Amino acid sequence: MLNIVVCVSGGGTNLQAIIDGVNNGLIHNTRIQAVISNNPGAYALERAKNAGIEAICMSPKTFESRDAFNDAFTERMIALNPDLIVLAGFLVQIPTRMIAAFPNRIINIHPSLIPSFCGVGYYGLKVHEAALDRGVKLTGATVHFVDDGTDTGPIILQKAVEVMENDTPQVLQKRVMEQAEWIILPKAIDLIAAGNVCVKEGKVVISK
């Protein structure tokens, strides 16, 4: 059984795709142990509660310093000791100590085809605004392992999505979620749960 903790900050549609995937058998042999959000108002926490999953809020704003938050967040995660940490729209930088404690056991979903439109400052709608500004005909989503950079870890899965004429950032974001994110994030978790994913010389190898 792959025990996972999902970290969220917003609406939680990717979390919902994971919950649904576990419930409908798309994601095998996996249990969502807990959901953690930095945002007390995140609807993702409601989704967790509705699914009977422990919903934890740890906001940096309630700690005396960022270091104090990082230590508490890391200690809590170590205590939960999941097999895999899934960042599903989590807008908080992962503490270095947590990355060191969970090597190649933290994955993230990013709404572009990395290495395009990623890195510091590229999150949420900003990613899609940049894709539209550049005039790309294809964009998509990427699931990757988290290392101590920003969107720089080994890539696990990607899925391309067509950019249509007159797309707005909002319309494009929704298409990327529906046609890519909500498909490859559950798929990546299922592959990891089956033991079919490993990292060799900094590259992901998937055995079917």
Which of the residues are catalytic?
A: 110
- 118 or 204, CB closer to ligand GRF? 118
* Range in contact with ligand GRF (rule: CB under 6 A) among 8-16, 99-107, 154-162, 196-204: 8-16
Instruction: Tell me the C-alpha distance between 105 and 128, whole Å.
Output: 27
Q: How many residues bind to ligand GRF according to rule CB under 6 A?
A: 15
CB contact at 8 A, 184 and 158: yes
Site for ligand GRF in 82-101 (CB under 6 A): 88-89
Per-residue CA distances from 152 to 12, 55, 130, 142, 161 (Å): 23, 28, 18, 11, 21
Site string for ligand GRF, 124-153 (x = CB under 6 A): x-----------------------------
72 burial type by CB count under 10 A (0-12 exposed, 13-18 middle, 19+ buried): middle
- CB of residue 183 to ligand GRF, shortest distance in Å: 12
Instruction: Tell me the C-alpha distance between 192 and 197, whole Å.
Output: 5
* Range in contact with ligand GRF (rule: CB under 6 A) among 97-105, 106-114, 145-153, 154-162: 106-114
- CB of residue 151 to ligand GRF, shortest distance in Å: 10
Residue selected from 21, 175, 181, 197 as contacting ligand GRF according to rule CB under 6 A: 181
- 11 or 71, CB closer to ligand GRF? 11
Residue selected from 6, 109, 161, 172 as contacting ligand GRF according to rule CB under 6 A: 109
Kind of pairing, strands 106-110 and 138-145? antiparallel
Secondary structure E strands in 21-175: 30-37, 54-57, 84-87, 106-110, 138-145, 155-162
Q: Does 154 interact with ligand GRF (rule: CB under 6 A)?
A: no
The DSSP string of 12-62 is: -HHHHHHHHHHHTTSS-SEEEEEEEES-TT-HHHHHHHHTT-EEEE--GGG
Site for ligand GRF in 9-68 (CB under 6 A): 10-14, 44
- CB of residue 203 to ligand GRF, shortest distance in Å: 22
CB contact at 8 A, 1 and 30: yes
CB count, 10 Å around CB of 137? 9
Report which residue's Cβ sits closest to ligand GRF: 89
User: Which residues of this protein are in contact with ligand GRF, per CB under 6 A?
Assistant: 8, 10-14, 44, 88-89, 109-111, 124, 177, 181
